[in-house]
Amino acid sequence: NEIPHNEKLLSLKYESLDYDNSENQLFLEEERRINHTAFRTVEIKRWVICAMIGILTGLVACFIDIVVENLAGLKYRVVKDNIDKFTEKGGLSFSLLLWATLNASVVMVGSVIVAFIEPVAAGSGIPQIKCYLNGVKIPHVVRLKTLVIKVCGVILSVVGGLAVGKEGPMIHSGAVIAAGISQGRSTSLKRDFKIFEYFRRDTEKRDFVSAGAAAGVSAAFGAPVGGVLFSLEEGASFWNQFLTWRIFFASMISTFTLNSVLSVYHGNAWDLSSPGLINFGRFDNEKMGYTIQEIPIFIFMGVVGGILGALFNALNYWLTMFRIRYIHRPCLQVVEAMLVAAVTATVGFVMIYCSRDCQPIQGSTVAYPLQLFCADGEYNSMATTFFNTPEKSVVNLFHDAPGSYNPMTLGMFTLMYFFLACWTYGLTVSAGVFIPSLLIGAAWGRLFGISLSYLTKGSIWADPGKYALMGAAAQLGGIVRMTLSLTVIMMEATGNVTYGFPIMLVLMTAKIVGDYFVEGLYDMHIQLQSVPFLHWEAPVTSHSLTAREVMSAPVTCLRRIERVGTVVDILSNTSSNHNGFPVVESNPGTTQVAGLRGLILRSQLIVLLKHKVFVERANLSLVQRRLKLKDFRDAYPRFPPIQSIHVSQDERECMIDLSEFMNPSPYTVPQVMARDPWAPQHPGGHGWVMGGGHGHPQGPRQVPAGQGRPGGALAGTDVMGGGSAQRRETHPGPSEPGTPFSRRQGEDWDSLCRHRGAWSTGTAVLPRLSRPLLPSHVYCLLLSPFPLLLWGVRTHPWLH
């Protein structure tokens, strides 16, 4: 079915973040006052903030882990005792009802707090943090209330037995912690600690949020290097060497804090044996060896992981579309979450009940062994996968001895859990997809290893645990399409460098195959949320487009000395809702506009009006009230709406001088410039396309094109829609500008593309799935590894 038109459009509720310092007179005066000592103090504060981010992120991770362990353990003990009781007496339907009721009740609480209190806390939060670092202002995404709901929600989701993990939400939690600490105050609690005031701007906050996201990954997996690479690969749009050091420092402190606290909690204070929320454990190096003949096997597993990942994403795409259309009311979202929780418990119970896969308890590490209809001294192996937290189930699949699982058990579990995880992701609960993906991949990977062991008559190299690890990497890579960071995360989480190359091979293959069919899960949900996300590369079909063909025109401008009533009317105009305005100069005694003089932001104008920074028209020679940058930082980030500022009729006739507050050097591009230079590679604003001409001398003007005057706004969505075959013949009304993007005189384009970007809101068509899910010729791709696979098996030295 065709997607409705309103679901293809980029939402107008999103605004851009200001990732460009406004180099006005106030900013330059402050910079001149900063000497070497002050600069050193600022740098020390940056390192202190990163250390605090790491410590608090680690402590939050400890809290989540300890609470989940105790609540989940209590739930499974209660259900296990009930099942054991009714197995002897009969009436196991009561055990099923108890399990489903417990799950649904816990998940109901977790869903209610998300749906009714803070909806942005739903999901893993990774797409939202990617958008924030990309330059999009997602409402409430880094607020304290969001952190509280995220932490409580993920605890309830995991304890409620959903097919979710607690690792993904740690990235969002770390980002919120970083955003709060770096500002030295809490706007939610209305507490200002009068510290870190220098960092109260989007550019500084962005860097700390990158560190927080990395610290979240480090705490989740015990992977500080993987956290840095995740922030680089998936998050940060701005990067430099000094930022790398600070992010690595925050990641290191995070995993050390988590390791120290959990080691003390588990009674091993000096061992430091808990580096992350999930510890994959050590693999036997003798069994973990590999030869070149196994490389085709790993490639084949990557292909399978890519196809299954694409299928997962495609199913979740249409399921999310259904939710957007029909399950958009909070009460319905809560009911759906409860239904999924009850169905998950029911499926798990039925699978355990029907399974006759009995294994000896002696020597096993099962936490909650269920006997059911097995003989004394045996347990049901299906229960080790369903009747456990997903993290422990993954570790069991990695390290349980060969023969611990029947192939039918693994096959049925893979099939059921695949669809349960797909159904669960996108619910209005706080949950991640990392661990479910690893669990699905570990199950079919272990099944693949068992099959190889059978074909090779029990060769030592065909270890099921080894292929469970490869399958887990392939499945996760096929869903989220991470390569570099995920390789290092898997290596750090397992403590094994030996399998670095096979993991790289599996992940690259899974990404290539998955990208052929459909986008990664996070990018897909960014599109489904109608967020104007700016990718690294412009559309390949837009090379010949010029700025004139994609810009939004005409543009509403302000004069350097403007009437207060005019400013209020412009800011109150909800039809355009600009966030930035070109400042122009009118030649005295004429109606001619002299040209662009600078850029003033909506937030700056709000602060000027709030502090009554204007003078009467008859006394223009008087000096208007002086402000400091502190006045603007104190209002950041929740600038008051224009409706809350009272301006009397007499004040409307006063004049306001924008000279010292405007940015005198906004980025501009000529109208005839082709796409490659002006297409922004990073977020942070929009550009003014230079033209000129004549405008009306009073009030806001729509400045037409000509030499030296602003002729249009080059917004991010203009660029995003610029790759279509049909070019614009006429320009629409003003877009919603953010901060300026284009080139200063003398600045090279390589430097510009590394550090500047374009953002605004507007409309652009979202792409559909990139390929049919399984075209006929894909069987060639599926069959191609088989000759290599057979050759590897036949020529392997251990088989002779």
Condensed to tens digits (0 to 9), the pLDDT of residues 430-482 reads: 999 999 999 999 999 999 999 988 888 767 778 888 899 999 999 999 999 99
Please give the pLDDT value at position 11. 62
Question: Both tokens of residue 42?
Answer: 């600022």
| pLDDT, tens only, 555-564 | 788 888 888 9
Average pLDDT value for residue range 297-305: 96
| Nearest to 474, CA basis, from 437, 517, 519, 424 | 437
What CATH number belongs to 540-761? 3.10.580.10
pLDDT at 23 over 70: yes
More confident residue, 9 or 55: 55
Do residues 370 and 383 lie in contact, with contact meaning Cβ atoms separated by under 8 Å?
Answer: yes
Taking alpha carbons only, the member of 678, 686, 675, 681 closest to residue 715 is: 686
* Structure-token pair, residue 159: 């304890």
Write down the pLDDT at residue 617. 67
Q: Can you tell me the mean pLDDT for 761-774?
A: 36
Question: pLDDT confidence of 49, banded at 50, 70, 90?
Answer: very high
Spatial distance between the Cα atoms of 717 and 735, rounded to a whole number of angstroms: 9
Share of the chain above pLDDT 70, in %: 79
Whether residue 397 is predicted with pLDDT greater than 60 in this model: the reply is yes
End-to-end CA distance of the chain: 56
pLDDT of residue 594: 62
pLDDT above 70: residue 661: yes
Name the DSSP letter for residue 497: S
pLDDT at 42 over 50: yes
The rounded radius of gyration (Å) of the Cα atoms in the chain is: 29
**pLDDT at residue 185 in the model:** 85
Token pair for residue 10? 């980029």
Report how far residue 776's alpha carbon sits from residue 420's, in angstroms, rounded to the nearest whole number: 28
Question: Is pLDDT of 706 > 70?
Answer: no
Confidence of residue 781 (pLDDT cuts 50, 70, 90): very low
Q: What is the mean pLDDT of residues 36-42?
A: 89
pLDDT at 327: 93
Average pLDDT over residues 619-631: 70
Q: Which of 322-331, 387-396, 659-668, 725-734 has the highest mean pLDDT?
A: 322-331
- What would the mean pLDDT of 527-541 be, rounded to a whole number? 80
The answer to whether 577 and 643 have CB atoms below 8 angstroms apart is: no
Phi, psi of 701 (to 5 degrees): -120, 150
DSSP H helices, 194-240, are 202-221, 224-230
Q: What is the mean pLDDT of residues 496-502?
A: 85
Residue 312 half-sphere exposure toward CB, CA atoms < 13 A: 37
**β partners of residue 653:** none
Which amino acid type is present at position 619? N
- pLDDT in the model for residue 9: 55
Q: Angle 295-326/500-517 helices, nearest 10 degrees?
A: 40
pLDDT reading at 510 higher than 60? yes
> For residue 248, which of 211, 213, 275 has the smallest C-alpha distance?
211
Between 540 and 747, the higher pLDDT residue: 540
Query: Encoding tokens for residue 294?
Result: 């196994």
User: What pLDDT is stored for residue 717 in this prediction?
Assistant: 55
Around 777, how many Cα atoms within 13 Å sit in the side-chain half-sphere? Answer: 4
- Per-residue confidence (pLDDT) for residue 498, from 0 to 100: 81
For residues 710-733, give the mean pLDDT: 51
Residue that is written with structure tokens 């992010």 in the block: 247
Place of tokens 């409402």: 139
- CB-CB contact of 655 with 563 (8 Å): yes
Give the per-residue pLDDT at 438: 95
User: Which pLDDT score is estimated for 1?
Assistant: 38
Q: Output 26 or 506, whichever has higher pLDDT.
A: 506
Do 760 and 532 meet the contact criterion of CB atoms below 8 Å apart?
yes
Helices (H) and strands (E) in the chain, counts: 30, 17
Return the pLDDT at 118: 93
- Token pair in block for residue 581: 């305005």
**What's the rounded mean pLDDT across residues 73-78?**
91
Per-residue confidence band for 187, with pLDDT thresholds at 50, 70 and 90 = confident
Q: Indicate the range of 72-76, 112-116, 708-712, 738-742 predicted with least confidence.
A: 738-742
pLDDT tens profile 587-614: 555 555 567 888 888 888 999 988 888 8
pLDDT at 799: 37
Question: 311 to each of 439, 638, 678, how far by Cα in Å?
Answer: 16, 42, 37
Displacement of CA 606 from its chain's centroid (Å): 31
Look at residue 520 in the predicted model and tell me its pLDDT: 93
Please report the pLDDT score of residue 726 as a whole number: 39
Peptide bond into 554 cis (omega under 30): yes
Q: 163-196 burial, b if ≥16 CB within 10 A, otherwise e?
A: bbbbbbbbbbbbbbbbbbbbbbbeeeeeeeeeeb
Residue 52 has pLDDT above 50, yes or no: yes
More confident of the two residues 254 and 360? 254
Counting Cβ atoms within 10 Å, is residue 315 exposed (0-12), middle (13-18) or buried (19+)? middle
In the three-class reduction of DSSP (H, G, I as helix; E, B as strand; rest coil), residue 82 is classed as helix
Both tokens of residue 771? 């390929």
Q: What is the mean pLDDT of the chain?
A: 80
CA distance 303 to 11: 36
Q: How far apart are CA 607 and CA 585, in angstroms?
A: 22
Question: What pLDDT score was predicted for residue 340?
Answer: 97
Q: Name which of 111, 202, 184, 188 is nearest 146 in CA terms.
A: 188
CA distance 682 to 533: 10
The residue ranking higher by pLDDT, 378 or 574, is 378
Q: 462 and 484 in contact (C-beta within 8 Å)?
A: no
At 89 the pLDDT is 78
